[in-house]
Amino acid sequence: MELKLEGYVLAGRLTVKETKIDGEMTKKLIKPKIIMLDMKGRQNDNMTVAKQTYNARHKNNMSIRGLKTEM
């Protein structure tokens, strides 16, 4: 983590690898809380918070579904 970001709650971001893992686990219908705990278990200094996991999940779901269009 960068020195200028120390002390901030949302200092970290999901890496490309973590985003990929999140997408795969979301497809398997695993709850976001479990995904977050799994990521923290893989890496001790992980700064992931629930908000980042939920945002990545939403972004992934929107890419699968596409935009909402009128009928």
Name the token pair of 24: 């795969």
Whether the Cβ atoms of residue 11 and residue 5 lie closer than 8 Å to each other = yes
**Residues in the chain with pLDDT < 70?**
1-12, 70-71
Q: Which residues contact 3 (CB under 8 A, 6 or more apart)?
A: none
The pLDDT of residue 4: 55
The pLDDT of residue 52: 83
The pLDDT of residue 35: 87
Give pTM, 2 decimals: 0.64
Give the whole-angstrom CA distance, residue 66 versus residue 63: 5
The pLDDT of residue 11: 55
The pLDDT of residue 1: 45
